[in-house]
Amino acid sequence: MLTVYSYPNCGTCRKAKKWLDDHNLQYQEVHIVETPPTKADLADFHKKSGLPLRKFFNTSGQKYRQLGMKDKIKTATDDELLNWLASDGKLIKRPIITDNEHVTVGFKEETFNEVWG
């Protein structure tokens, strides 16, 4: 069973869930703002995804711009990045999907075909 961290108003999340539905994959949905992943979860996702931590930031979000994250993340340590991500679900790029072994961040059909297909 997959876990999908998403936000109901997010178009990218809707596309990802439609892809999962179309491929008959079962998932449990977690509201990323109401129940954001913990710092430990995010560290685990980071390790399993193989992506740089900066890829976990919702760079098009208002919160990201309000907090001036573009400049802050350039020199931040991984620990600082994880603390910021864990502090506010709106800072996290979505959806994050995991089966506790693999992790994808965002939605790209070719990535979904490769990882979840």
CA 109, CA 77: separation in Å to the nearest integer? 31
Query: Mean of the per-residue pLDDT values for the chain?
Result: 97
Single pTM value for the model = 0.94
Question: pLDDT tens digit string along 66-89?
Answer: 999 999 999 999 999 999 999 999
Domain boundaries, the chain: 2-115
The pLDDT score that the predictor gives to residue 102 is: 98
Residue 15: pLDDT band by 50, 70, 90 thresholds? very high
Q: In the predicted model, what is the mean pLDDT of residues 24-44?
A: 97
Query: 60: helix, coil or strand?
Result: coil
Domain 2-115, CATH among 3.40.50.11540, 3.40.30.10, 3.30.460.80, 3.40.50.300: 3.40.30.10
CA 52, CA 44: separation in Å to the nearest integer? 12
